Structure 1
Amino acid sequence: MKLFGIKNCDTVKKARRWLDEHQVTYQFHDFRKDGLEQPTVEQWLNSVSWEQLLNKRGTTWRQLDDPRKDQLDQQAAVELILAHPTLIKRPVIEDESGVSIGFNESDFQARYAK
């Protein structure tokens, strides 16, 4: 399993803490530090929509001054995400079942508890 996010995000911290407490092995990818590539984002979009991936409630979105913000489609969303990775809802989890977004303890319990 691979968990994508940023290390100081509260939701990412909750997800990582839950995984650690339940001894679930994962690789953490901090896209602020480690970067994010277009093929990765496009792969995620095979499982989730760009609307699900893009966080329009966060600080980055509110402070974003970009004309593409007002007329979004998938291509514009990918371009914005690559330019501003903190626009991604976090965490993004890649595992054998596909891609999921966010942390919900009951979902994690159902998927990963041993």
Structure 2
Amino acid sequence: MMASVLFLEYPKCSTCKKAKAWLDAHGVAYADRHIVEDNPTADELAAWHAASGLPLWRFFNTSGMVYRERNVKALLDAGMGDEEAYALLAEDGMLVKRPLVVGEDFVLVGFKEAEWEQALLG
């Protein structure tokens, strides 16, 4: 049995529901966290970004309303620094791409079944 992971989700999000059903179906233990009511801190985001190996823009919910309203793409394109980006993400959980799965030595952003299988079942 693998160690439990942290699962950050927005319960109304259909992708999050699918991801949660996938975790349950595969017997993956997780601690559930509401990404808006208990949004990630800048420090958590910095650590997760480092562990993920992904470009920072992947942590933004680019299809979200808040992302568009705040014109975040323009800020990122203008060369927003990592610290500023973490602070911005920490302001509003709706800006953060979901679901997020945080394991001991990996972070998964969004729900891609093949990636999840490799990281969680591999």
TM-score, length basis structure 2: 0.78
Residues 1:93 and 2:97 are matched in the alignment: no
Contact 1:2 1:29 in 2 (8 A): yes
Measured in 2, the distance between the counterparts of 1:57 and 1:101 equals 14
Measured in 2, the distance between the counterparts of 1:23 and 1:75 equals 36
Identity of aligned residues (%): 24
Deviation string, structure 1 residues 18-38 (Cα, Å, up to 9, x no partner): 111222111111121223222
**Count of residue pairs brought into register by the alignment:** 113
Contact 1:54 1:77 in 2 (8 A): no
Which amino acid counterpart does residue 59 of structure 1 have in structure 2?
M
Which amino acid counterpart does residue 102 of structure 1 have in structure 2?
G
Which amino acid counterpart does residue 23 of structure 1 have in structure 2?
G
Residues 1:59 and 2:65 are matched in the alignment: yes
Question: What's the secondary structure of 2:67's corresponding residue?
Answer: helix
TM-score, length basis structure 1: 0.82
- 1:1-114 correspondence to structure 2 within 5 Å: 1-47=5-51, 48-64=54-70, 69=75, 71=78, 72-113=80-121
